[in-house]
Amino acid sequence: FTIDWALRLDALSAVMVFFVTFVGFLIHVYSIGYMHAESPRSYARYFAYLNLFMFAMLTLVLGANLLVLFVGWEGVGLCSYLLIGFYFEKDWCAAAGKKAFIVNRIGDFGFLLAIFLSFSVFGTVDIAGMQAVVAAEPSRVTPWATAIGLLLFVGAVGKSAQLPLYVWLPDAMAGPTPVSALIHAATMVTAGVYMVARTNFIYALSPEALLVVAVVGGVTAVFAATIGLAQNDIKKVLAYSTVSQLGYMFLGAGAGAFAAAIFHVFTHAFFKACLFLGSGSVIHACGGEQDMRKMGGLRAHMPRTYWTFVVATLALAGIPIFAGFFSKDEILGKVFAAGMADLGGFGNIYLALWVLGV
């Protein structure tokens, strides 16, 4: 039983590496100013965690087999715990970090079982090797495809905060605002979508697993958006919006539109990071206040933040000509097409999910 510490750069990982490093770099630059008031020890600790986070995320997206991917997967889980609980002397911050860590353990248990099962079925956990087995003798894999797909998806549900394991993500606001931008936009929460897209050849053999992905994604998208409507904390509104957008990505993946899902991961990374960094700017300007009911009329005082926020909001809302429109519209189109083509015999469910998505 040998596993190579191997990295794989292809079209999918290249897209992920590009925006993880690019958006991550911008968040690092922003953090220099945002964290300037911290003590030298806290400042150093913060950047050590942030860099470790980037290292773990790049390990995750470049892993050539499920085990290397899992090492990165656990690494981002550890770093999220360290960064969410960054102000650990405050009890609620420490509790939020622990909550994120524990909820993610539930998902990781499913992912580990998927790795074990994959090895027993495929005889390897190398992703290229697994694809070769599927191409050569699909009949050997088909009986197990649903079980492997669903166990992998349990891991994705934990990491990408889908129902019912979404509870940790809103509490992730306890860390510094740039951390929220990094976790919610560019890195950790999109790992689940990436993993489902990376193992798409398994899902292709199981219409049932695809349907579960689509239903969980579609329901989460609406569910989280309705919670977001009732929030007053500027960062929590964006947090629930992230859960909703991740639901959208899984809705696309569940319709077999993996490219559209990754496209939405890509566009979302930019506009959501912009919104979080903008909210950090607003919080700083308002002296640490995060309650939106106490804000208003900031346009005259913060014109740059105002305009960047407006553009990112229009992209998030899927208004035509902005990035969010193209990726969301493609997902909706593919879900509708899956319904019309009666994908896996579940056409009516996909059409219902399309209505939900719209």
Selection from 166, 154, 67, 66 nearest residue 108 by Cα: 154
Would you place residue 151 in the very low, low, confident or very high pLDDT band (cuts 50, 70, 90)? very high
pLDDT score for 181: 84
pLDDT score for 179: 87
Section 142-152 average pLDDT: 94
Would you place residue 223 in the very low, low, confident or very high pLDDT band (cuts 50, 70, 90)? very high
- Per-residue pLDDT at 132 exceeds 90: yes
Secondary structure class of 273 (helix, strand, coil) = helix
Per-residue pLDDT of 172-194, as tens digits, reads 888 888 888 888 777 788 899 99
Asked if 240 contacts 249 with a C-beta cutoff of 8 angstroms, the reply is no
Section 90-110 average pLDDT: 90
Q: 297: part of which helix (H) or strand (E)?
A: none
pLDDT score for 316: 92
- Within 8 A by CB and 6+ apart from 243, the residues are 161, 162, 166, 169, 170, 220, 224
pLDDT score for 292: 87
Distance of alpha carbon 28 from alpha carbon 250, whole angstroms: 29
Distance of alpha carbon 42 from alpha carbon 174, whole angstroms: 16
Q: For residue 105, what are its two tokens?
A: 């353990």
pLDDT score for 166: 86
pLDDT score for 331: 94
Is the N-terminal amide bond of 164 cis, ω within 30° of 0? yes
Distance of alpha carbon 335 from alpha carbon 6, whole angstroms: 35
- Percent residues over pLDDT 70 in the chain: 100
Distance of alpha carbon 289 from alpha carbon 295, whole angstroms: 9
Would you place residue 164 in the very low, low, confident or very high pLDDT band (cuts 50, 70, 90)? confident
Burial class (CB in 10 A: 0-12, 13-18, 19+), 60: buried
Would you place residue 226 in the very low, low, confident or very high pLDDT band (cuts 50, 70, 90)? very high
Distance of alpha carbon 120 from alpha carbon 312, whole angstroms: 46
Secondary structure class of 291 (helix, strand, coil) = strand
Would you place residue 150 in the very low, low, confident or very high pLDDT band (cuts 50, 70, 90)? very high
Asked if 266 contacts 19 with a C-beta cutoff of 8 angstroms, the reply is yes
Asked if 178 contacts 43 with a C-beta cutoff of 8 angstroms, the reply is no
Rounded to the nearest 5 degrees, what angle is found at the Cα of 220, between the Cα atoms of 219 and 224?
125
pLDDT score for 211: 94
- Per-residue pLDDT at 235 exceeds 90: no
Per-residue pLDDT of 46-78, as tens digits, reads 999 999 999 999 999 999 999 999 999 999 999
Secondary structure class of 65 (helix, strand, coil) = strand
Would you place residue 3 in the very low, low, confident or very high pLDDT band (cuts 50, 70, 90)? confident
The number of beta carbons lying within 10 Å of the beta carbon of residue 117 is 15
Q: What letter represents residue 29's amino acid?
A: V
Distance of alpha carbon 77 from alpha carbon 143, whole angstroms: 32
Considering the chain, what is the average pLDDT of its residues? 90
pLDDT score for 149: 94
Secondary structure class of 63 (helix, strand, coil) = strand
Section 243-264 average pLDDT: 93
Would you place residue 348 in the very low, low, confident or very high pLDDT band (cuts 50, 70, 90)? very high
Would you place residue 215 in the very low, low, confident or very high pLDDT band (cuts 50, 70, 90)? very high
Distance of alpha carbon 117 from alpha carbon 109, whole angstroms: 12
Section 293-310 average pLDDT: 88
**Ranges 105-109, 184-188, 291-295, 334-338: which has the least confidence:** 184-188
- Per-residue pLDDT at 233 exceeds 90: no
- How much is the pTM? 0.92
